[in-house]
Structure 1
Amino acid sequence: MRDIRSTQLSHPLAYADALLGWFIHLGIDGDEASLPGLCVTAVAQLSQCELSQLYWRDESTGRLELIAQHLSGVLCPGDPVGTKDFQHEQVLHYVLSHQTALSLEDFSSSVYEYGFLPAMATAWAALSCVPLFNRDKAISGVLLCASQCRKHLQDYSVSLSQLGSFTLMQLALLRCQPSLGSVARQNQCTPAPRAEFGLVGSSTAMDETYRLIGKVMHTSYTVLLRGETGTGKEVVARAIHSAGARRSKAFVVQNCAAFPEGLLESELFGYRKGAFTGAERNHTGLFDAAHGGTLLLDEIGDMPLSLQAKLLRVLQEGEVRPLGASAAHKVDVRIIAATHRDLAAMVAQGSFREDLYYRLAQFPIELPPLRERDDDVLLLAREFAQKASLALEREPVSWSSAALDQLSSHAFPGNVRELKCLVDRAVLLCDDGVILPAHLSLSAPPTDESVDATLRQRLERVERVFLIDCLHKNRGNRTRTARELGVARRTLLYRLARLKIPLGDVCEGG
């Protein structure tokens, strides 16, 4: 803690509390599969950087392998087959050879090459790279975080180095003692798939989404994401890109409803100088910008019919022809389409091409609305509150039981997007560290008996929220939860079964 207090962090105590929480999380909840992902997620949240990477160094060969990466809110497992050795990249090599941290606050004047970082639409502006050590004080890896804004990242170096070193030491212990790791995994809940994809949710509905993402992420299939507005279609698209083989290339997003037909065509396909009035230079289209990577066509149901025919040709032939060009050229782009519309119904009405629909729906994924995701509302609310507190550089907030009850009772027609906006606003309004119903500004449920739940249903809903909250506070340990509530453990188990609280909702801890 001395190192943190001596820095210029705006809220060192809040940072120290969050850091300690991550140490506990890594030590208790992490296993061989989830530790690297938990580490880079922690670094991204603590440093408020868009990118965090964890590299592991092979002591015998000196190879430096990327084992986990967190990019723009999405987690991917790094290079699972270890095909690339990063030890000779200038920034990483400097840290390895000098065994000291390196912070760059202005890339424009930097002498170091940083082309190994993921290509983004906005250039990287600041970077911090720290060495990680094993118990023998030898280099065991490197931890890197980078921001697209100019930041003073040096103050994070010592604490993040300690966090990363702890992670690799835990990982080495689990690998050397598989029997202990196996016993630990039996005493914990199964690692949530979100640790691999960077998504939040443990409901049955989300389990199916995780399963489908895992099936398609390493293929070149065209994916069609369907779901109501606000269900997180772009977040899932980023997860598919970042966890797949194209993660080192560009991820480009185009909303098909944001431009009129003429402008949308020129944005997608590009144009040559003189193609139309005002075309004074060549313009690279988004298909070319996404070459080697992924292009997300959001709101594909709003694409005009004439453009649908041209998109079909891209999918069939893998080539585009810019406006004003005399010939087409090949592009290597993975297409992910997203829509809240019923495309099959639009095909029947003649407003969407049938042949394009079947091309896009090569691998459809239906994203569940929030009202069908059981208790994911509470998991998401806590996640959003933690991120909002860090962004505002405030102490982490807690939740009152009444506020949690309101959240669980709300239908959320705007889905995850509505919940995030609601929580962000509540954190901003919360001055005493506890979110109350007044901070949520949700309308009270109707009191008419014809539409309201019965008294028993209402009480059970309140009890369900309360029990889940207590279990989360005790990290899923049912023995400690029963002790805190002042009831016998068998009574707690009976109530959990009676209220249909599945084991997947909270980690099992005894």
Structure 2
Amino acid sequence: MFSLLPHPLVYAEALLAQFANLSRATEGSALLGGFARGLAELSGCELAQLYLLDATHTCLGMSAECLNGHLQPRQTANVPADYNGEQLLQFALCQNRVVCIGELEGSLYDTSFLPSQVRPWRSLLCVPLANQQQSVEGLLLCASHQRMELQGFADSFGRLGSFVLGHLQLLQRLRRPSGGASPASAGAPGLSGYGLTGKSAAMRQVYSLISKVLHSSCTVLLGGETGTGKEVVARAIHECGPRRTQAFIVQNCAAIPENLLESELFGYRKGAFTGADRDRSGLFDAASGGTLLLDEVGDMPLPLQAKLLRVLQEGEVRPLGSNATHKIDVRIIAATHQDLSVLVSQGRFREDLYYRLAQFPIELPALRQRGNDIFDLARHFADKACAFLQRDEVSWSNAVLDLLASYGFPGNVRELKGLVERAVLLCEGTELLVEHFSLRMDTLPDAGKLNLRERLEQIERGLLIDCLRKNDGNQTLSARELGLPRRTFLYRLGRLNINLENVDG
């Protein structure tokens, strides 16, 4: 265990002392803080961090941080609630693999989770932490401004971390009230962006917002252009939250007439109108305990908006033909592609309902703003189409990737899905070609809704990708050909979300 360390006996004694110190902790916060400080002392690193998953394994939060010998406060506004969007942390967590990087400076690794310092971080060690059942519960991380070989600490740090997890669970059981149940973790969903596809900065922001509202009962308003995946995000919030074992019901408010929509949502009693020959429960009752998605809520008629406001404020409904109200427990998620504030100014949407629905807004990015997510989504849809058709997976020609990168996608993810599925049907070989895609060339970015910065980024992305492909992915030759310092070239690759997997096709 200590063979890679310069003074194994001295280190073993220091490690044993840390075990002894941590075993005497009687409070969870003191235990985790002492663990972070101990990691910094044992490794000689300026930074030690501890990340733990929550009970549902959907939120990765920082539980302790020791910086320059001092424990950092956790209750600060600038500390993210969830680190699930950090790719390096996700890799170590999901793959259950130690990550050791000896030279961070100039690399393409995204280390935004490290605190900003005047001196750059150069060395990093990330170790998954497993409990007694060998289930990964979190991560420990050490980083230094010096060039250090940290791999030798991985094994002993992992064992020390497992001991801390066990001791933390013991302290929690001792402090739990008699008869109290522990939070259920069985059946917890996966960790890759709440089941959503995308690693761009825009989607990582969406994941961060989801993490903040996931375990809350407040109303969520999903905005964004048509086809950005609002229903998919609503389902992710439901399936990753505490209501996932209950119903998830979707109602499109623009799909049916006003009188039918009211009876559909609120239900009715026998004799309420002609043809009402029996009592019928509405969707609010059907979704009780679960989640109701009101899609295209901007098209809801004004009379119904007043009734929806009462549901949100009082948590009760009155079926048509009934004089009595009854309580419901349902989470409301609203979605719209319209700007509700504009509808309010036009008198087409109630202002009080708007502020009630916009309690926690999440704006979904257009596909053209998501960089290389286009390629990840395209491959995802192609794999699903091939599996459905029971055919071998297809590859992608460079010309197709160039075409997708330059296309505006006015229909966003929905349009991409349809294009890819049609291309797979048309493809008779093993490679998708340009002729398999019927793109409307009048909707390229320069004629779409891109602003100047976004158009310039599209042009720059195309130039960088073309140069990399021309040089078989060689970054040094590509930087030289474009007349850029290599570090500037790498920075631009990272800023434009260009990775070599997509360049290789």
Structure-1-length-normalised TM-score: 0.56
* CA apart distance, 1:491: 5.5
* CA apart distance, 1:273: 1.3
Give the one of 393, 398, 402 matched to 2:399.
Answer: 402
1:172 has 2:134 as partner: yes
Query: After superposition, what is the alpha-carbon deviation per residue over 1:372-402, rounded to whole angstroms, capped at 9, x for unaligned?
Result: 1122111111111111111111111110000
Contact 1:202/1:376 (8 A) holds in 2: yes
Residue of structure 2 equivalent to 1:120: none
SS at match of 1:312: helix
Residue of structure 1 equivalent to 2:301: 304
Q: 1:174 to 1:194 in 2, by over 3 A?
A: closer
Give the one of 493, 498, 502 matched to 1:500.
Answer: 493
5+ residue gaps, structure 1: 1-75, 82-167, 185-192, 471-481
SS at match of 1:287: helix
Q: Which deviates further from its counterpart, 405-414 or 491-500?
A: 491-500
Residue of structure 2 equivalent to 1:293: 290
Distance in 1 between residues matched to 2:289 and 2:458, nearest whole Å: 53
Q: 1:305 to 1:450 in 2, by over 3 A?
A: closer
- Give the alignment of 1:85-484 within 5 angstroms: 172=134, 180=154, 195-444=192-441, 461-465=461-465
Contact 1:205/1:373 (8 A) holds in 2: yes
Residue of structure 1 equivalent to 2:69: none
SS at match of 2:192: helix
SS at match of 1:423: helix
Residue of structure 2 equivalent to 1:110: none
Q: 1:335 to 1:174 in 2, by over 3 A?
A: closer
Residue of structure 2 equivalent to 1:59: none
SS at match of 2:493: coil
Larger radius of gyration: 2
5+ residue gaps, structure 2: 1-52, 59-129, 141-152, 159-189, 481-485
Q: 1:408 to 1:507 in 2, by over 3 A?
A: closer
* CA apart distance, 1:322: 0.7
Computed over aligned residues only, the root mean square deviation of the Cα atoms, in angstroms, reads 3.9
Contact 1:77/1:196 (8 A) holds in 2: no
Q: 1:173 to 1:332 in 2, by over 3 A?
A: closer
- Aligned residue type for 2:223: R
- Aligned residue type for 1:413: P
- Give the alignment of 1:25-104 within 5 angstroms: 79-80=56-57
Aligned residue pairs, count:
323
Query: After superposition, what is the alpha-carbon deviation per residue over 1:21-73, rounded to whole angstroms, capped at 9, x for unaligned?
Result: xxxxxxxxxxxxxxxxxxxxxxxxxxxxxxxxxxxxxxxxxxxxxxxxxxxxx
SS at match of 1:205: helix
- Aligned residue type for 2:134: A
Contact 2:396/2:433 (8 A) holds in 1: yes
- Aligned residue type for 2:490: A
Contact 1:398/1:434 (8 A) holds in 2: yes
Distance in 1 between residues matched to 2:390 and 2:237, nearest whole Å: 31
Q: 1:490 to 1:347 in 2, by over 3 A?
A: closer
- Same amino acid, percent of matched pairs: 57
* CA apart distance, 1:464: 3.7
Q: 1:222 to 1:450 in 2, by over 3 A?
A: closer
Distance in 2 between residues matched to 1:225 and 1:450, nearest whole Å: 26
Query: After superposition, what is the alpha-carbon deviation per residue over 1:103-135, rounded to whole angstroms, capped at 9, x for unaligned?
Result: xxxxxxxxxxxxxxxxxxxxxxxxxxxxxxxxx
Distance in 1 between residues matched to 2:296 and 2:156, nearest whole Å: 45
* CA apart distance, 1:502: 4.0
- Aligned residue type for 2:415: E
- Aligned residue type for 1:497: L
Distance in 1 between residues matched to 2:139 and 2:340, nearest whole Å: 52
- Aligned residue type for 2:319: P
Query: After superposition, what is the alpha-carbon deviation per residue over 1:269-301, rounded to whole angstroms, capped at 9, x for unaligned?
Result: 001111110111111100000000000000000
Contact 1:194/1:201 (8 A) holds in 2: no
Q: 1:458 to 1:293 in 2, by over 3 A?
A: closer
- Aligned residue type for 2:198: G
Structure-2-length-normalised TM-score: 0.57
